[in-house]
Structures are given as structure tokens and as C-alpha cells.
Structure 1
Amino acid sequence: MKFKTKMTTLAITFTMLAQSVWAQRPNEIQHIKFGDENWEEMAPKLQRKYVYGEKGMLALFKMDKGAKVPLHHHSNEQTSYITKGSVKVTMQGKDYTVKAGEVLIIPANIPHEFECLEDGTLDIDFFAPPRTDWINGTANYFAKSTTVESQLETIAAMDIRPGDVAVSASGRVFATIHPLGSQKMQLVEIVNGKAVAYPDESFQKNNQPATDAKFDAMLGLIFDKKGRLWVTDMGLELGKTRLWCLDIKTNKVIEKIELPGSIAPKGSFLQDVVIDEKNNWAYLADIANPGIIAINLKTKNARRFGGHTALLAEDKDMVIDGKVINFGGKPARVAIDPITLSSDRETLFFGAMNGTSWYKVPANLFRENKDDNTIGQAITVAGKKPFSDGATTDAMGNHYFTNLQEHAITKLATNGTLTNIAIDYTLLLWPDNAYLGPDNWMYISANQLNTTPAFTGSTDQGKAPYYIYRFKLK
């Protein structure tokens, strides 16, 4: 049974605060008595005022010891000049103490947080371009628990970690069970809030050795436009990658494609999958040996595209709640992970988990079996993204990412702006994937994946329950 999560919608969007700011005319000469402007109370011990033109914004912050600006990021370059007092800025797992007379320049899209170290601190910030989230009242990072679109609802509270979630056109909810967690069940349907083995118990590994007849390590999960359910089986124990297809009307397996070892050798980690039912192709992302696997679903022939820098992780730390996240015993550098297709199936989108760029490439280049060099030259940047484990693309070309560092769902709009549309620091603990279901419901799995032994290097530090949520997009 679905129930609304009790969460305080504390979003401070600054809509009312912005009304106190001088009426701005960005394209005109402006002569403003800045000292006469009213201070805006943003949070305890923290006040702000700002002015802006067409290309830049000037802000003045007045704060006392203990004032904090929570972890957030924006597409604007920020130059901070401390004229009095001092602050501590945390970025990429490193603390920067900035004292009076010192300047800190923060590049675009770098998550950062501020803490004031002295009473009476004055900070002059310059943003380029202007902060539209301040101007239009959509900034929400002062909320510890908020959804901009609507309230979260809990679909399932589970004692095992969900991997990906997918929802049928009729509203049936399915989930893989993350292989870095439980080895009991691999694929489930959520029925009345409970995880039920799908299509039945006979396909589940149930903590037994992997076999050809059973599921092994399921993760990527998606419905195509014909209503078929596709799921990747990474074969972490069996040593071979398989792509399964199920008919949820009959609850039967209708396809099982095994990839040859030359394309997906043992040790591959083919996580996300997208299906082009129009042209009969499938595309999978391999994070272990960074690449894209393209499968002709008619002939079952497959090819691998690799060796391109767009497939690789950026050399930036993943920081969650102030802690650098490790993977495999060292700071995480996870390569291509989320992968999506445009609604017309002609553009493939992808990006690294540890990456801030979202790339695109024409899908027909794979269908026409173009060489890697031709495909590589056609890759371009589609926009910016947060560090993310999952993504989905809607029919209008907007992209939605799970935002690991900010406990959020982030939207990349068609105009190139990034906006957090859901934030919850207590519930969205490692939002693994986002899935756009019927009637504009966005589904999210939250599984605390960074607490598994693969990340901690020791014991499992997760605390059940693990969740599947949803919220309604406007």
C-alpha cells in the first residue's frame, strides 16, 4: 500500500525574499544605492543582498560564527572575496580557510558548502552569469528535506537493496535487487509494498551458485515502448553477461541474449541498458572496461565502442556528507554509468558516474556499424550533470539525474539549466536510479550503496529499510 512519507517541506525558495531586492533592469544602466537595500534573512546568522546585470551578479553576505550554507552547486562561476572575518569552504573533500583579504574562485558545477568562522564576517561574491535560481526563486538548497515538485511517496520499504526500478504503462512496479547487496533474490515485483520474486522463485539464485537457468547479478531494468521488460544480468559469478526480456502479461521469459566473451569478458560490469524497439537495438554501458555495447536484437550481433575520453571518469572526488567516497579501496573514479535514449530513438546520451558532463551521439552510427573513430568524432556535450548513478530522458528532451552528492534528483532542462527538483538529506540516501512512469510519476530507488563493502572496504554499514519512492512531476 502506498503512503505519503512524513517529511517537512522546508524549501526556502526566496520567492518572497527576492521581492525586497531592487527592481533590476539587466539591459540598462543601473545606479543603485546598495547600502539602502534591505538585508534578506536566508538562515540563522546569515543575511544577503544582491544586484545583477545581464552578464554578472554581485552579492554581499553578512554572517556570524556558525552560519552555514549547505552543500550545493550551480552552473555559475563564483568569486568570493572575504573583506572581514573568515569562512571555511569544503569542496571535493578538502577544506579551504579563506580569511579577510583573500579570494576563492569556485568553478561552475563544483559542489561546495560554506561555514562562517567569525562573528561579523563580510563576504562579497560575484557570479557569472547571474544566479537565475535566486532571481526566479527556485534555489532550494537551504532545505534539509524538500521536494520542489510534490511530496515523496513511499512505494516500498525493503530489507534488501533495490537496484533499478521500472514501471509499466499500467503502473506495475518492478525492481532489480542490487548484486552488491543481497544474493537471495535478483528480480522482484512490488506488490502492496512488498518485494515478490519475479517471474517466480525458480529464477532467483537464493544464495546458491549461479547457473545458466537462473538469474545471477541483475541491475539495469527498463520497459520498451512495446511493454516488454528488459534487464541486464552482469554475470558477476557466472562470468558472462546476459540480457533478458520478459513479457509481463504472461510472466514469461521471451528472450535471453548471451554476449560473447570477446565483447563482454568476465569482469565486465554492464550496468545500465536502453532499448530501441523501433530499430531493434539495445545499448549497454560497461563501467569496468569503459565502453558502450550495441546489440542488434534481430541478428544478436554485438559490438563494443571504447577508448574515448567521454566514457571515462573525471579526476574529481565524490563527496557525500563531507566524506570522500572510496570504491575498491581508493577514491571512487566510476566511468560511464547512466545511459538514455531520446524518445525518437535517434540520439544516445551517456555520462560517467564521476562526471559533470552529459554527452550525446547519433545512434544511427552504431546501427550502421561505423568505426570507433567516426563515432568518437560525433560525440558532443549535451549539457552538465551532477555525479549520478542513474538518469532518464523524457519525450521533450529534458534529462533527470540521481544526484549522489546532494541527495537529490536534478533536472537538465532543454535550455541547459540544472535544477534540483527533489532534495532529501535523510531519505534520498544514494538515489540509484530514476524512472519516469505513467502519468508523470518519477520513481526513485534509494539503497545506501556507498555503505556496501565494495565502497567501505569492510563490513556492510547500511541500515535497512531501503526504499523505492515516487513523486509527481509538474
Structure 2
Amino acid sequence: MFLLKKSIVFVLFTFAVMNCAVAQLPKEIQHIKFDDLGWEKLADRLYRKYVFGEQGMLALFKMDKGAKVPLHQHSNEQTTYITKGSVKVTMQNKDYIVKAGEVLIIPGNIPHEFECLEDGTLDIDFFAPPRKDWIDGTASYFGNDQEHTRELKAVAQLDVRPGDVAVSAEGRIFSTIHPLGSQQLQLVEIVDGKAVPYPNLKMQKNGAKASDTTFDAMLGLIFDKQNRLWVVDMGLELGKTRLWAFDIQQNKVIEKITLPSRIAPKGTFAQDVTIDEKHGFAYLADIADPGIIVLNLKTKKATRFGKHFSFDAEDKDMVIDGKVVHFGGTPARVGIDPITLSDDRETLFYGAMNGTGWYSIPTKVLRGHQPGQLVFDQIIKVGDKPLSDGALTDSEGNHYFTNLQEHAITKMDKKGKLSHIIQDDDKLLWPDNVYQGPDDWMYISINQLNTAPAFTGGKDIGVAPYFIYRFKKK
């Protein structure tokens, strides 16, 4: 048995050497003959080998003219040293020509792509921390052309910005109208490609002052498993956060819950909501005072959980098409935004818009109104995510994010592997949310939100039409 175990270890070690990753004991001293490592072919005219320790990773690329590394991003800081030849690195809408003897340092989470300009180019890269996606084989930006087989189909062209989109079990499409845009309509149904006030025109604000009987600032919306439509009204003018529910068969309001002011005071920006119809709870994400509001739909009792680092924005700039996105006059730092539930309703997932972490909490500790620290002790980081405004968790446990910087929808599978399922630099201009409808259709609202006055600090530079698209998930 001992010899068998030794043989298995030797086979695994040999396999690792063949795949250029020999430093499998990162906390121990390692002495490796780098020249003897085999080359791994990544793409046409592009080869790689690497070693790694506990805190860093060293990689060598050899490439010939025309070799490319597609657009991608990672949380690791990257130091690139060209020892021979030259490359072109494109990021933030600018080309950097890096020649032999020159170094380029790329901070984490900046989308970038490489193109080799000369035959025989040698590139030494150092990553801190090590590239986990290389080590576990989950890097997907080479040889993954799935996104190119999916076609975006427009289901609506709007002259005002949509907020979020939700689709019923029978395929009816609903959308909020983003409160940072129009003050006329707040909630619509998409009928034959056009926005029709829902459930009627008199419920809309229509440019008038906010009131208890009309909508104010609708944004997050979702269908529960009973096919009821729930919409969160942030009450930006009225000063009250309300949760509305609709019976779409009768097209009428069946719930209007006003959250107590001690939980959601004026200024609360509860922009996303998810519904646990199994236990009778709603969960809202507030970015103004970053935290999660837990609402018992039966008793109407609400609890707020906040003051935890996972709810806060990270100190990371959001860069879209080469420009740092501002919000309220300073570089955007937006906290907890997308919030989702597992299919069995036992786990809540969330992350900050300006954040690269995707976290989870068991819902039983939230439902039990445990003290904050007992809840915080249950928080787990599920994996890394892109900077995103919306997210979806499907019945299989996969997560889908609106990738704002890369104009994409990015999937995290159950192993934590990230990959774009669709990407379009021209069409996915601030994908606000993503929603799964029947028959494996995925829906995206596109609203160019970074061009709205709240972001530009001046006039609205968005260009209509704004879109709701859909594409096939599989």
C-alpha cells in the first residue's frame, strides 16, 4: 500500500510537471530547474510555463508575432517584464507598447489584452498572489468561444432607461424604469416591444409629487415561485421604503408593505430584493447604509444587518471604456448591490457593486433575528466576481453577474470557475440586471447608467434607445 501511494504521488507530480506547475508545496523551500519544465501551448504561437509559491507566481511566455491573449481580468497584480521582442497591451482604452528591457505593472481587476508584435518574444510575468485559476485549471479566456455562439435579441427598445427586468412563468416581461432617469413611469410591462404602464397609468408618478397611493422610485423586481411579482420602491422623494406585490393574473396590488423608518429611514437606497416564499421572508440590499434588511412578510417585522466589511465597497475604481466611473462627484464606491437566493431558499448570496467578492449567509440565521455578530460569523466568501450591478443564482447553483467593465454576463459555476457566457462591447452598455425566464431565455436590461447625471455630475450623455435583450442560456 505504501508503494502504491508513492506511485500515485509520483504520477500526480509528473502530471503537474508536464503542465508547468511544479511548486505544489508553496510553504516549503523549492529548488526547481526551470529550463527543464515543459511548455504548455495556450493558443496559436503562444506557450507558457510557470512556478508558484505561497505569495507569488513566476511565469514565462514565449510567443511569435500575432499571438494574442484575449481580453480578461483577474484580482492579482501583474508585473510584466519583456526580455526579448515586444508586445502591445490594451487596457482602459489605451495601447501600451512594451519593448525588451521594459516593465509594465497592471493592478488587479483591470481588463486587459495582449498582442505579440515580434517573433521570438519572451515575457516574464510575476503575479501576486498566485493565479488560482491557473493552478486549478479554471481560467477560461482561452479556447472558450461559447459567448460567440449566443445571439442577443432585442425584446424592447426604450426612450427611457429601464431599471431591472423580470419575467413571469408564462413569459410576460416586466421592467422598472430607473429612478435616476425618468420621473414619469416607474413600472411597465413590455408588450409587443413597447413599455405599457403597469398595472395602470394612474399608479405611476407622472412627474407629480410622490404620494402614498402612487409609485415613487421603483427599481428591484422579482417573481417568486408562486408567480407573484414583487417590486421594491426606494421612496427617494417620499422618504419611505415600500415593497409592492402584484397578482399579474388579475393585474392588481396584493401587498404594499412600508418598512419602519428606524430600519429604512429617509435616504435608504434599497435597490435590490429577493423573495423567500418558502419561509415568508424578503431580503433587501441597501447601498446607502450598506447592509441587508430582513422582512418577515407575515408579521411585517423587519431587521437590519450592517457594519460588516462584506457589505461595503472595496477601494477599487470602476473603469469602463477607459474612464473611471464617478458617482456623486467622486470615484464610485458602491456597496452591497446584487442579492440572490439559492433555489432551496436556505442560502442568501450577495456582493458589492464595487467589489470582487461574492458572499453567502445561511438564511436560517437571518430569519431567526440573531444578533449581528452571530450572523457575521456565518458569512462565507463563495468566490470572486466582476464589478457588477446585478446577479442571478439558478436552480443548479450557478451564479451569473452583469460584468460592467467587460460588457459581459459572467458565470460562476459551482466550482467557482468564472467565464463569460456572452460579451458585446457595443450592446452591453451597463447591463443592469440579468434574469432567467422560461425555456432557458436569459434577459438583460441595458441602460447606460454611467452616462446618467448622477454619475457624470452634469448633463445626461446617454444615447437612446435603451434595450432589454434576451439570449439562450444553453
Compared CA separation, residues 344 and 244, structure 1 to 2 (3 A): same
Q: Is 1:347 matched up with 2:347?
A: yes
Q: How far did residue 100 of structure 1 move?
A: 3.1
Compared CA separation, residues 29 and 179, structure 1 to 2 (3 A): closer
Cα pair 2:287 2:336 within 8 Å, conserved? yes
DSSP-derived class of the 2:16 partner: coil
Correspondence for 1:431: 431
Query: What are the Cα deviations for residues 244-302 of structure 1, in whole angstroms up to 9, with x where unaligned?
Result: 00000000000000011111111110000000000000000000110100000000010
Distance (whole Å) between structure 2 residues aligned to residue 365 and residue 39 of structure 1: 45
Cα pair 1:92 1:316 within 8 Å, conserved? no
Cα pair 1:435 1:442 within 8 Å, conserved? yes
Query: For residue 436 of structure 1, what is the amino acid of its counterpart?
Result: Q
Compared CA separation, residues 94 and 390, structure 1 to 2 (3 A): same
Distance (whole Å) between structure 2 residues aligned to residue 457 and residue 118 of structure 1: 44
Alignment of 1:305-384 (within 5 A): 305-384=305-384
Structure 1 vs Structure 2 CA RMSD: 3.1
Q: How far did residue 118 of structure 1 move?
A: 8.7
DSSP-derived class of the 2:313 partner: coil
Correspondence for 2:302: 302
Correspondence for 2:263: 263
Alignment of 1:8-87 (within 5 A): 26-27=15-16, 41=44, 47-50=45-48, 58-63=60-65, 71-74=71-74, 78=78, 80-84=80-84
Distance (whole Å) between structure 1 residues aligned to residue 78 and residue 123 of structure 2: 12
Correspondence for 2:195: 195
Query: What are the Cα deviations for residues 22-60 of structure 1, in whole angstroms up to 9, with x where unaligned?
Result: xxx8435586786xx99955xxxxx52335799986432
Cα pair 2:317 2:331 within 8 Å, conserved? yes
Q: Percent identity between the aligned chains?
A: 64
Structure 1 portions without partners, runs of 5+? 1-24, 42-46, 141-145
Q: How far did residue 216 of structure 1 move?
A: 0.5
Correspondence for 2:181: 181
Compared CA separation, residues 113 and 327, structure 1 to 2 (3 A): farther
Distance (whole Å) between structure 2 residues aligned to residue 340 and residue 375 of structure 1: 17
Q: Whose relative contact order is higher, 1 or 2, with alpha carbons under 8 Å and at least 6 apart? A: 1
Q: How far did residue 152 of structure 1 move?
A: 1.1
Q: How far did residue 138 of structure 1 move?
A: 3.7
Query: For residue 329 of structure 1, what is the amino acid of its counterpart?
Result: G
Query: For residue 83 of structure 1, what is the amino acid of its counterpart?
Result: T
Q: Is 1:241 matched up with 2:241?
A: yes
Correspondence for 1:11: none
Alignment of 1:115-126 (within 5 A): 122-125=122-125
Correspondence for 1:471: 471
Compared CA separation, residues 126 and 62, structure 1 to 2 (3 A): farther
Compared CA separation, residues 393 and 412, structure 1 to 2 (3 A): same
Cα pair 1:337 1:389 within 8 Å, conserved? yes
DSSP-derived class of the 2:220 partner: strand
Alignment of 1:215-226 (within 5 A): 215-226=215-226
Query: What are the Cα deviations for residues 73-97 of structure 1, in whole angstroms up to 9, with x where unaligned?
Result: 1477755321135557566899987
Distance (whole Å) between structure 2 residues aligned to residue 175 and residue 436 of structure 1: 14
Cα pair 2:221 2:229 within 8 Å, conserved? yes
DSSP-derived class of the 2:171 partner: coil
Correspondence for 1:16: none
DSSP-derived class of the 1:202 partner: coil
Query: For residue 123 of structure 1, what is the amino acid of its counterpart?
Result: D
> Which runs of structure 1 show a deviation greater than 6 angstroms over 4 or more consecutive aligned residues?
52-57, 90-97, 115-120, 133-136
DSSP-derived class of the 1:340 partner: strand
Cα pair 1:62 1:123 within 8 Å, conserved? no
Compared CA separation, residues 76 and 289, structure 1 to 2 (3 A): closer
Q: How many residues align?
A: 437
Distance (whole Å) between structure 1 residues aligned to residue 298 and residue 97 of structure 2: 59
Distance (whole Å) between structure 1 residues aligned to residue 371 and residue 305 of structure 2: 8
Query: For residue 384 of structure 2, what is the amino acid of its counterpart?
Result: K
